[in-house]
Structures are given as C-alpha cells and as structure tokens.
Amino acid sequence: MRELNIATFIQIMQVGLKTHDKQFAAGEFLLEALNRPNDERFAGYYEGLSDKKVSKLVNRQSPVPDGIQQASLVSELAADAVKYYETKVMADMNPFRKDDVFSQLVKVIKEDTEIGDKKREELLKLYNDGKEGTFLGELFLYVVNRPNTPGDSFVGYEDAPLIGEANYECPLCHNKLVETVKEKPVRRYEITQIFPEGLSKDKEKELAAVYPKPKDVQKTIYQIRRQTITRSFGILRRFFQETSKRRKPLARLSLKNTSVLYLMHWHRWMIPYSWCRWNTMLST
C-alpha cells in the first residue's frame, strides 16, 4: 500500500506531464504553486530548490520545506495554488497519460488508511464531478501537509505475531520488514485488512465464497504470542544453564550486543527477534 504524501504525488504526476517529465523539473513545477521567487506574496515563504533537494523529497529522505508548508496555510495563497493547478498544471498534462495519472491518484486516496473519511470523500467528489484541476490543487495542498519521512513508523508489539510468521522479511524480495534506526525498530511494511467491514449480508456471503472470513483473528494472534513467549523463555533458561556450565560470570556478558536487554525490559515485540538471536548464539 502506498502512502499519500508529496513523494508519491510527484512520482505519479511526473509520468503525466508533457514538458516537465523529469524528476527535478516535475518537482519544481508542481511545488511552484506555493513557491514563486518572483511573486512578492510568496517572499517570506520561498524555498530554494535544487536537484538534490527534490531527489531527497521524492525518496522520502526529507520533509516538505517549511516555507511551502506555511504558505499552504495562508488562504489567499492556497486559493491561488488551486488556480495554478487548474490552469498551468492541467495545460501541461499529457492527454495520453492523464487518465493513468488520475487512476493512480484515486487508488492511493482510497487505499491510504491515514486519510480521514471526510477528506477522502471531498477529494473523490471533486474528481467524480469532473473538476480535475481543482482536484489536483486540493490534493496538492493536502499532501504538502502530510508527513513525508517514514522515520516515525515504529513497530508495535501487536505486530510481532504477524511479521514473525513471515520470518521478518518480505517473501518476494527478501528485504527486512524491520530495521533498527537509532536503537529503535522501524517498520518497513504495512498491514492491510483483506476482509472489509460493513458489508451487506449478501456481499459478505459472496466474498466468503471466494475467501472465508477468519473465525477469530485475535485468538490466533494470542496463540502465536503465547507459543513465542514459551519458546523464548525456554531458550533463555538453556542459555543460563550453558553459562553456568562454562562458569562464566554474567558480568562479563555484553548485554548491549544481545537482545537480553530488551527481554529484561519486557518489550514483548522483541521476543521473536530475541529467540533468533539466542538460537544463533547458542549454536556457535
């Protein structure tokens, strides 16, 4: 699932522009709605852009420049930004790729669970009513105020049973689902709900015929968690037994380089990871 942010917006829009179809050109052109060096109204908000800055923005390595974000909060400038998209951006849209662009944007809006229902409905209504330029302008104002960097997506302990079943890696590309950044686990995944809620009885039966609805998801997660905890403490007990046999005092163990520290602090989401670390350490 893709998140709706300025990085996603620029990437999708880039392929649909005629004369601004390169990354820097697209980024500068789209952000110019709120970032104009020759307009006195934007004098206190202008942010100098470079190829490197736009690249970091698209790769989600930097947040939206503060000046652009602040300009979006000024009603006069925000209204002018919408007009910019209605005229200049729409005029530069490739007629052969325009529908592809709008289709991708609508798809992301529908999939991103962080968007409020009211905002989602407002954006989709503009598109369904044929107000494509206004739709792009309002969407732009929204994405410049959304977080662009993924650094604050930490792992919750309730995710452990789910990512544990996948062995903490993507089954397709084998990239890690969790990375450690500044001694904190940062998620590199999203959990989506396959079986939708609020269906009518007829639709629910129709969907259940294709894929049956889980009977009790929470019970399954609890069973996985209980099995993981039992296994982890079994490995921990074995570790202390081995340590006792070797007559090595615990003071000599480097706790900072193992997962024992997390286990002692009762970070339950670390238990499956701890089990892997103990198992590796004991087998060497």
State pLDDT tens for residues 97-130: 999 999 999 999 998 888 999 999 999 999 999 9
* Ordered alpha helix ranges (H), 85-216: 90-91, 98-111, 117-128, 132-143, 160-165, 201-210
User: 128: buried, middle or exposed (CB in 10 Å: 19+, 13-18, 0-12)?
Assistant: exposed
DSSP SS3 for 131: coil
pLDDT class of 143 with cuts at 50, 70, 90: very high
Contact partners, residue 179, CB within 8 Å, separation at least 6: 185, 186, 188
My answer on whether 139 and 167 are in the same domain is no
Highest mean pLDDT among 86-90, 240-244, 248-252, 267-271: 86-90
pLDDT class of 189 with cuts at 50, 70, 90: confident
Last residue of a domain, one of 90, 108, 143: 143
My answer on whether 27 and 96 are in the same domain is yes
Q: Please state the φ and ψ torsions of residue 171, each to the nearest 5 degrees.
A: -70, -15
DSSP SS3 for 208: helix
Residue 227 and residue 218: Cα distance in Å, rounded? 14
My answer on whether 134 and 249 are in the same domain is no
My answer on whether 131 and 173 are in the same domain is no
Residue 52 · residue 23 · CB < 8 Å: no
pLDDT given for residue 213 in this prediction: 65
Q: Please state the φ and ψ torsions of residue 165, each to the nearest 5 degrees.
A: -65, -25
pLDDT at 248 over 80: no
pLDDT at 273 over 80: no
pLDDT class of 262 with cuts at 50, 70, 90: very low
Asked whether residue 165 is assigned to any structural domain, the reply reads yes
CA distances from 144 to 8, 81, 122, 242 (A): 11, 12, 17, 56
Asked whether residue 152 is assigned to any structural domain, the reply reads no
pLDDT at 66 over 90: yes
Question: Which domain, by its residues, includes 135?
Answer: 6-143
My answer on whether 192 and 248 are in the same domain is yes
pLDDT given for residue 192 in this prediction: 63
My answer on whether 213 and 137 are in the same domain is no
pLDDT given for residue 108 in this prediction: 93
Last residue of a domain, one of 143, 177, 201: 143
Residue 89 and residue 55: Cα distance in Å, rounded? 20
Last residue of a domain, one of 143, 176, 198: 143
pLDDT at 93 over 80: yes
Higher pLDDT, 168 or 249: 168
Asked whether residue 150 is assigned to any structural domain, the reply reads no
Average predicted confidence (pLDDT) for the chain: 78
94, 13, 87: which is closest to 54 by C-alpha?
13
My answer on whether 122 and 30 are in the same domain is yes
pLDDT class of 227 with cuts at 50, 70, 90: low
Mean pLDDT of 149-157: 62
Mean pLDDT of 159-173: 76
Question: 183-220 as b/e, with b when 16 or more CB fall inside 10 Å?
Answer: eebebbbeeeeeeeeeeeeeeeeeeeeeeeeeeeeeee
Asked whether residue 10 is assigned to any structural domain, the reply reads yes
Asked whether residue 151 is assigned to any structural domain, the reply reads no
> Percentage of the chain surpassing pLDDT 70?
65
CB atoms within 10 A of CB 1: 11
pLDDT class of 244 with cuts at 50, 70, 90: low
| Domains held by the chain: number | 2
